[in-house]
Every structure is written in structure tokens, then in C-alpha cells.
Amino acid sequence: MTPLDPPKKLTRKDFVSDQEVRWCPGCGDYAIVAAIQRVLPKIGSTRENTVFVSGIGCSSRFPYYMNTYGFHTIHGRAPALATGVKLANPELDVWVITGDGDGLSIGGNHFLHLLRRNVNLQIILFNNRIYGLTKGQYSPTSLVGKKSPSTPLGSIDSPVTPAAFALGSGARFVSRAIDVDVKNLSAVLTRAHEFKGTGLIEVFQNCPVFNDGAFSHFTERATATETQLHLEHGKPMIFGKERDRGLRLRPGTLEIEVVTIGENGITEADLLVHDETNRAQAFLLSGLEPPLFPVALGVLFAAPAPAFEEAVLDQNRQAVELRGAGDIDALLRKGHTWTVGGDSQDS
Amino acid sequence: MDTFASQSAERESLESVVIRFAGDSGDGMQLTGTQFTQSTALMGNDLATFPDFPAEIRAPAGTTFGVSGFQIHFASRDIMTPGDAPDVLVAMNPAALKVNLPDLKVGGMLLVNTGAFTAGNLKKAGYEENPLDGDDLAPYRVLKLDISKLTLASVEPFELSTKEALRSKNMWTLGLVMWMFDRERSETVAWLEKKFAKKPEIAQANIAALNAGHAYGETAEFPQGIGCYTVPKADLEAGTYRNITGNEATSWGVVAGAKLAGIRPVLGSYPITPASTILHTLANLKEHGVVTFQAEDEIAAVCAAIGASYAGSLGLTSTSGPGVALKAEAIGLAVATELPLLIIDVQRGGPSTGLPTKTEQSDLLQAVYGRNGDCPLPVIAAQTPGDCFYMAIEAIRLAVKYMTPVMLLTDGALANSAEPWKIPSFADFEPFPANFRTDPENFHPFVRDPETLARVWAKPGTPGTEHRIGGLEKHHDSGNISYDPDNHHKMTKIRAAKVAQIADDVPAQTVDQGDAEGDLLVVGWGSTYGAISQAVSACRASGLKVSHAHIRYISPLPRGLGELLKSFKRVLIPEMNNGMLIKILRAEFLVDAKGLNKIAGQPFKVSEIEAAIRSHLSNEPSE
Ligand code: SF4
């Protein structure tokens, strides 16, 4: 391509593959793939430089539907595999696609280490609080009491909160969105992509077949203004139809409480102001859920740090500067050598 | 007395000697052995070593399970094994004596540090009575010295604490043994100065101890039977040599192989004995463009390697048997997606955690068959420490040329043993550059080379060849997901055929020693090479019609092997496992091979194989 031949402007269609989509009708995954296909051309992605890496599960079919590079790997291991892709070629734009079972159960270990290393890629966690592909068993994000084929009397183990787990693991970018909320989902996808390091996007995804309405207590449009808090850096945490409710720290504690502006002398100045770089505050926000609280959506935490793979390759560059580019013959003759017969004498 | 000339004139010349240094883990026996090895190499002897250390990092001092040993075999002729029974045993404490005395040759020389034979140490070693007092040592030539006391005296001017001063007793001992066998100290002196550059008084104390041990040899009167010796230079092929361990050779082979392929090696690895030194070695070769990644676990290690291969690098992973077990599913993914990948399995005793620091060949069946589904991949095995270099390069060549994972088997014995190695010239290696597809015309990810059956390698970043791959079955003619029954049958057959025809691209099986027909063929693989070779050589010298074939390519097996097996009346397969290669050869060629199995965590002794050969040949086969 020459400078006279400017790159063709890509559109959503350029990112749609020729493969027939095989998710169940009404699955939240459709909305997510559509959002990505719309966002990629807007953020300047190219087909050849984009790689989708997934594990196993309904969501992990994702790469087949993208007309980019893609690798559908094995259960839970996509973060490790994607780390290898970035170590081989840091220039590639990598998106990891995972789910609550794939990423937090069988792949929990890799999820933790990907986040703490801060490999420069985006990871989208499709959380539907259920195993879909294996036909409806409860997952590590299912609520206690979840009846499923493997828990006929209800599940008894406590669920993990993905955002809290991520923050505890040392993640440097944690965000959340609802599958069908195109505007907010597109916004966090864009932010995660801009972020240098591991950008986690947890998507609350509805599985109409095995866990319909798992998140309806905050996704229902009619009540959304009361059950959702859309975070904005530097802005007070306000929600509610009348924009009169907010969050503040309960005085003298490390707990968040819901207050109403204008009641008991509360003004906007009393409310918590969102600070994306405050990990402790992000942790408090990650645990909020109706009925007592709204769910915090958007970017909970963003604190840039050097990307892992760049630091790794930097060490290679430094080694070359320090020792010169490696030479195999010199390597084989490093240390003690001796000569038998002939007349050449090494070291 | 100025005696150097007269002393050396009196030296008795020996053809070969086996020395074992044994002491507590804290006594520095591995360093002593390594230094003795270094100076022996410089003397021009052929040599082989076998370090044997406990699994515990800091086993309680003085106990039998804390005993660490280092055996070196050196000679004026070609040798291939660290030796069977030691001629000389150095025992630094009662536990070392207890563990090692049964191995010492009758009539062998025993050097004991009497200073460590305290009541407490005797008890810890499980001795009721002091073995130095009774008749137990009568069959040996014993030199009893209070090395602890002699060492303290030698380092007195440095005013070290007693504990610190006693640390030099290995150097005192080394000095004495170097005098006995006519070795140069200068390299060890230089090494000590470098190692303790920041603590010059420690360096000087150790050098003083080394010299004192040597001087002791020159001046002391020794009992009958203890003397000084020389082992003349071996007649080695002309060239530049170095000592090399298997793990070093493997690591350097990886760097060389990747360079020949023209791609960057990316190692994903997780620490595991006895493979970790490959990770350490490669982590220190960053100027060669080697990327090393210490992953969170074995699975992540191999997955990162697969990701790197997908992106156009050479992904590789180094591990041992338990790690291979964990990686099995991911290796299957690399088979299904037909990506190059090198898996290095430095085998150790199993099952489970087994014997981490001891050697075994019991991952053979795991390597060849240990994955779900029909999942073939090439498996090759190195036979000597130096051979690890060549086989690592060969593994990379096959992986890149055939777009397949390749398993390279070495083992704990190869990994840690050193041998003199004639250094090759890198220019003599034929490059095998990786071939990346860049042409979008008629592209799909499973377009195959009609000759090699390798699929195309199109790396992300290339415009026009965007594609998706994965573990699901693919249609043979589009690469798209396919659940078609006939297609799966066809793809399984193609994957098998691709690996099977590699047999045409590797050397046909030959005999290493002996005729291509006869009474008995001894077939080995891996690190048993040296022991089998010497045993066969000894048997042939006494007129037996025995030959030796060593298999470096285990899957697919080399051409000509079947005919070779059938050209002998009997086939004997020594293995350090409970019978694995034998199963494959029986299944493949319907030969009635017999096994010789040693599963003791220790390499075969030459004598064990020799005895088996003689016993198999003493009764004619019943037809
Ligand atoms: S099972 Fe649930 S998550 Fe899976 S495709 Fe169907 S609706 Fe979607």
C-alpha cells in the first residue's frame, strides 16, 4: 500500500465473517458481537491486525463470527494463549473472549495472572451466571440457591463477583456493561481498547434458555434509572429518575450508603466523586447490587502501568545493548574450551 | 622436598578411574565434582559425570537422605558412562559412607574424613558402632584423615569463624584428590577468585585449603596401597572441546534451531525438576532474541507457546513428566490446529511426583500416546548430553517443516551429566527457514503442501489471510468447522499420514555397533546409549554375535528398523522403565523382544547390561 493509496475506510460489514451464527435466538451474545463489529471500525482497527482469542463455551464461538484473525482454544486457557500471541508480536490488537465458567472456574488461575501482569489486550467476560454450552449447570457466578441439573436442590457455594476478583488480582482496568445497552457497552469497549494494559469488560449477558432474567433486577428498562449508576470520572455518583439519589460513605465507616439529595441536609457536595484511579473505592463499588443499591456500570477502575509484553521485550533489547546481538558460535565456545590435535587454541 | 619431578615419575599410570565424591548436602560435593571435572577435561581425558543429589533442598545435616554425591569417570580411552562401581570413594561424613560404601569396588580406595565421625553424626547415619573401628573396611584401601582439623589449620591465618573455616574442607579434599590424580589447580583457583570476588578473604581461605590439601599429598607418608596416579590423555577426535550437560545442550540447540528457522523462540515454562535449568539457561540468552515466560502453571506455559506459534514465532515449552500430563489437552490443540510447537520432556521417576531428582525413561508411552483422541505427533529422543543439541535442532526442523508439535525426550541423567563435547561450527548446519503464507489468493488455513502435508502458516498481521482456527474439527477443504462424519475420518487419517511419512525425512535405522544380523540385537533409546554401547563392545570383544541399535526417532519409527529386528535371533531391549519401547516394537513389528528393565532411579551399569546379554545368549532360543 502506497501513501497515494489511502486505506479504505472500514465499516461494520468488513468485520462480519461468512459463518452462520449459531447462538440461540434471543441470546445476549448477538448484541455483544454486533457492538464489537460496530466499534472496531470506529477505533481504527484493521482486520489483519486484530486477533480474537477465546476459550470454550457459548461465548467462545465468538472468533468464528469475526472476519479477523481468531483462535478458538481450549477451556479456560485463552488468557495464557493470548499472552503468547502478544509476546510473539506486541503490535497485534488482541481481544480475549471468555465467560463466567471459562474465565472464573476452569480458567480462574489464568484470569488472575493475566490481570496482574497487565498484558496489553482487552478481555470481555460474558457473565450469564450459568453454563450454557453444557446445558445449564450452575456457574461460579450463580447465586446461592440456583437450581440447575447439577444442583437440583439449589447451589450452596457463594458466587464470585468478577470485578472484585479482578481488582483483588491487581487488574488495572475494570469496567462493566449490559449486553443490550449499546451506548454504554460501546463506550467501555472503546475505553478498554485505548487503555494500555489489560482492559477487562464484564458484560452482564442474558441467557434466555438456561438463566433468563438473571440480571433483570437491574437491566429492566422501566426501572433502570433506579437500579443503575453510570460512573463518570470526576463526577459525583448520582442516579435515580429525578437525579436526586446518590452514594456517599457512611460517616465514620468504610461502607457505601444511598442518600437522597435534599433530605437530612444532604447536598451534592456530600456525595462520593468517582475517581477511576482509586482501587479501594472501585472495590466498594464492585459489590453494590439491587435491591439496596444500584449496580455500578462503566469504568470502575483505570490506572495505567507499563504493559507486560513490552517490559519483557525491553529486557531483550537491553541484553543486546549490553552484550551485543547473540552469536551461536560464541555461545557454544563460552567458558572453558580446549583443543585436541590441530593448532588452534581457544580461551 | 622438591619433589614434583620425582613424584610424577613415580606415578602409576591408569587407563580409567571412577571417583565418587560423597558428603552431606552442605559439604559442597557438587562443586568439588564440577571443579575436578573441569580440570580433568583440561588434562585431555575423556570423561562422563553423574551428579546424584537429594530431593530435599536442605535435608537435615548428617542424615543418610541428605547425602549428595558426584561421580566422575575419566579415562585415556573413549568412555560413555559415568562408570559402574567407583574405584575411589571420598566420604565426608558417616552418612555418606553408609550410603556409598556398598557401591565401592572391593579393593577400591576409600578416603574418609574422620573429623566428621562424631558420636552425633554416627547416630544420625544409623551406625551403632564406628565403622572405622571394626572390620567393615577391611576389603578396601582406606585413608583416614581428619580433614576437618587439617582444613582448620590451613585457613587459620584468615581468622574465620570455625563454621566458615570448615566450609573449605571440600577444597582441601579436592586439593588432595587433584594431587593424587595429577590434576591442575589453576582453573579452580581462578574460579574461586571469581566466585568470591566480593569476599576476597573467603576466596583466599578456599585457595589456601586447596593448596594445603595438595601439599599434604606431596609431603605425607601414605599407608600401603595409597599412591599417586596419572591417567594419560585420551585419543579424542581433533577439534575444540568443552564440557556440556544435556540441559545446556538442549537450550543452546533451541537457540540454534530457531535461528536456522529464522524465527524467534518463545519459551513458556513452569519450574520443575529436572527441567528448570533449561528455563534458567534460556532466560539468560536474551541477546539471542529468546523470549522466556515463566507462566503461572504448566498449562499456561504450553498455551503461551502455542499462542506464540500462532503469531509466527517458535513456541516451545520445557518440562518433565508431570508437566507433560498437565499439558496434554493443549498439545492436542496444537495437533488439531497443526501449529509448530516444541515440547521438551526431561524425564524423571514417576508416577505422580515420583522421584523428582532421579532419572527414568517412563514417559515414553505418555509422549507417544498420552492425549485424548487420535493425536499423533513426532517423538524423538537424545542419547547423550551433547546429542541434546542436535536433537533440539532436529525437533525444531520437523515442527516447522511439518506444522506439528514435536516431543523431545531427554532425562534427568542426560540433563545433569557432563561430557566433553566437540563443538560444531554453526555454519555447517543447513538452514530451514519457516515459510509464511502471504498470498491471499485461494487461501484457506488448511491448504496443504502436497509433499509434506503441512498446512500453510499465515500469521496475524498479514493482510488478506485472516482466518479462524481452533480445536473443533475443521473441513479438510475450507478450514471451517465441520461435524461431517466422513470429514472427521478423513482429517484423522491426514493427521496420521502427515506424521507417519516423516519417516522418509529422517535417517533410516542403522546399527551403532556390530553386524546387521546375528544372535542378539540390543535395542535402546535415550540415555542408556553409553551403557549399552560399552556392554555390547565388551561382549563382542569376547566373540559374541551381538549388535547394538539405538533409536533416536521413536515416532514415527525409522525405516529399516523392522527388517533389522528380524535379522537377529533375539532382541533385547534395556529400558529404565517397566517396558515401554518393547510394547511399541512388539505391536509394530510382531517381534518377540525381551526386556531388561531397571526402575531404580539410577542409570544402568555396564555390567548389568553385559550380564543380561550373556544370559540371553547362553541358552539358544527355542524355535
Ligand atoms: S445457551 Fe444461553 S448463552 Fe448459550 S447461546 Fe443459548 S442463550 Fe446464549
Handedness of CA B443, B444, B445, B448 (dihedral sign): negative
The angle subtended at Cα B156 by Cα B151 and Cα B157, nearest 5°, is: 135
The angle subtended at Cα B199 by Cα B197 and Cα B205, nearest 5°, is: 105
Angstrom distance (rounded) from CA A44 to CA A15 = 12
Residue B579, amino acid: G
Provide the 10 A C-beta neighbour count for residue A248: 16
Does B462 sit within 8 Å of A66, measured CB to CB? no
CA distance B468 to chain A (A): 4
In the reported structure, the alpha carbon of residue A130 is separated from the centroid of ligand 1 by a whole-number distance in angstroms of 9
State which fold the A12-235+274-308 domain adopts: Rossmann fold (3.40.50)
Angstrom distance (rounded) from CA B401 to CA B386 = 24
pLDDT > 90: percent of chain A: 93
Residue B255 forms contact with A (CB below 8 Å): yes
Confidence band for B6, pLDDT divided at 50, 70 and 90: very low
Does B373 have pLDDT greater than 50? Answer: yes
Chain B residues lying within 8 Å of A46, measured CB to CB: 463
Residue whose entry in the numeric block shows the C-alpha cell 613415580: B10
Does A85 sit within 8 Å of B460, measured CB to CB? yes
pLDDT of residue B290: 98
Does A48 sit within 8 Å of B425, measured CB to CB? no
Average of per-residue pLDDT across A238-262: 97
Of the partner residues B42, B236, B462, the one whose CB lies closest to the CB of residue A48: B462
Nearest chain B residue to A63, by CA: B468
pLDDT of residue A341: 73
Task: For B279-330, give the DSSP string.
Answer: HHHHHT-GGGT-EEEE-SSHHHHHHHHHHHHHTTSEEEEEE-HHHHHHHHHH
User: Three-state DSSP class for B73?
Assistant: strand
Determine the length of chain B.
Answer: 623
Does B461 sit within 8 Å of A73, measured CB to CB? no
- Determine the residue of A32, A58, A125, A129 to mutate for testing ligand 1's pocket, defined as the one with the most ligand atoms within 8 A of the Cβ atom: A58
With a Cβ cut-off of 6 Å, ligand 1 is lined by A 23-24, 27, 29, 58, 128, 132, 207-210
Residue B480 forms contact with A (CB below 8 Å): yes
Does A8 have pLDDT greater than 90? Answer: no
pLDDT of residue A342: 56
Does B470 sit within 8 Å of A87, measured CB to CB? no
Could you give the residue range(s) of every CATH 3.40.50.970 domain in chain A? 12-235+274-308
User: Which range (A117-126, A183-192, B214-223, B263-272) has the least confidence?
Assistant: B214-223
CA distance B307 to chain A (A): 4
The angle subtended at Cα B302 by Cα B300 and Cα B305, nearest 5°, is: 105
Does A84 sit within 8 Å of B304, measured CB to CB? yes
**Whole-number average pLDDT of chain B:** 94
Confidence band for A5, pLDDT divided at 50, 70 and 90: low
pLDDT of residue B185: 95
pLDDT of residue B2: 36
Name, of B10-14, B345-349, B419-423, the range with top average pLDDT: B345-349
Chain A residues lying within 8 Å of B312, measured CB to CB: 88-89
pLDDT tens track for B46-91: 999 998 877 777 778 899 999 999 999 999 988 888 999 999 999 9
Nearest chain B residue to A90, by CA: B311
Torsion, CA A319, CA A324, CA A326, CA A327, rounded to 10: -160
pLDDT of residue B53: 79
Of the partner residues B310, B427, B461, the one whose CB lies closest to the CB of residue A49: B461
Residue B38 forms contact with A (CB below 8 Å): yes
Does B4 have pLDDT greater than 50? Answer: no
Angstrom distance (rounded) from CA B388 to CA B415 = 9
The predicted model scores a pTM of: 0.90
Does A88 sit within 8 Å of B264, measured CB to CB? yes
Burial of B3 (0-12, 13-18, 19+ CB in 10 A): exposed
Protein residue with its CA nearest to atom 1 in ligand 1: A132
- How many interface pairs between A and B have CB atoms less than 8 angstroms apart? 220
pLDDT tens track for B357-372: 999 999 999 999 999 9
Does A7 have pLDDT greater than 70? Answer: no
Does B252 sit within 8 Å of A72, measured CB to CB? no
Best B285, B303, B390 member to test A by mutation, with max A CBs in 10 Å, is: B303
Closest CA to A92 of A121, A63, A55, A60: A121
pLDDT tens track for B96-134: 999 999 999 999 999 999 999 999 999 999 999 999 998
The residues, any chain, with a CB within 8 Å of residue B201's CB and separated by 6 or more, are B158, B160
pLDDT of residue B3: 33
CA distance B520 to chain A (A): 36
Does B623 have pLDDT greater than 60? Answer: no
Chain A residues lying within 8 Å of B315, measured CB to CB: 84, 88
Average of per-residue pLDDT across A306-311: 98
Residue B444 forms contact with A (CB below 8 Å): no
Inter-residue contact A78 to A53 (CB < 8 Å):
yes
Does A341 sit within 8 Å of B238, measured CB to CB? yes
Taking CA atoms, B526 is separated from B272, B277, B346, B411, B531, in Å, by 20, 19, 11, 8, 11
Protein residue with its CA nearest to atom 3 in ligand 1: A207
In the reported structure, the alpha carbon of residue B469 is separated from the centroid of ligand 1 by a whole-number distance in angstroms of 22
Does B472 sit within 8 Å of A48, measured CB to CB? no
| Residue B370 grid cell | 498420552
CA distance B422 to chain A (A): 9
Does A332 sit within 8 Å of B468, measured CB to CB? no
Chain A residues lying within 8 Å of B472, measured CB to CB: 72
Of the partner residues A48, A72, A336, the one whose CB lies closest to the CB of residue B468: A72
pLDDT tens track for B562-600: 999 999 999 999 999 999 999 999 999 999 999 999 999
Average of per-residue pLDDT across B293-302: 98
Taking CA atoms, A110 is separated from A79, A115, A189, B326, in Å, by 6, 8, 21, 14
Average of per-residue pLDDT across B406-412: 98
Atom of ligand 1 at shortest range from CA of A26: 7
Taking CA atoms, A165 is separated from A103, A236, B59, in Å, by 11, 25, 39
Atom of ligand 1 at shortest range from CA of A23: 5
pLDDT of residue A4: 56
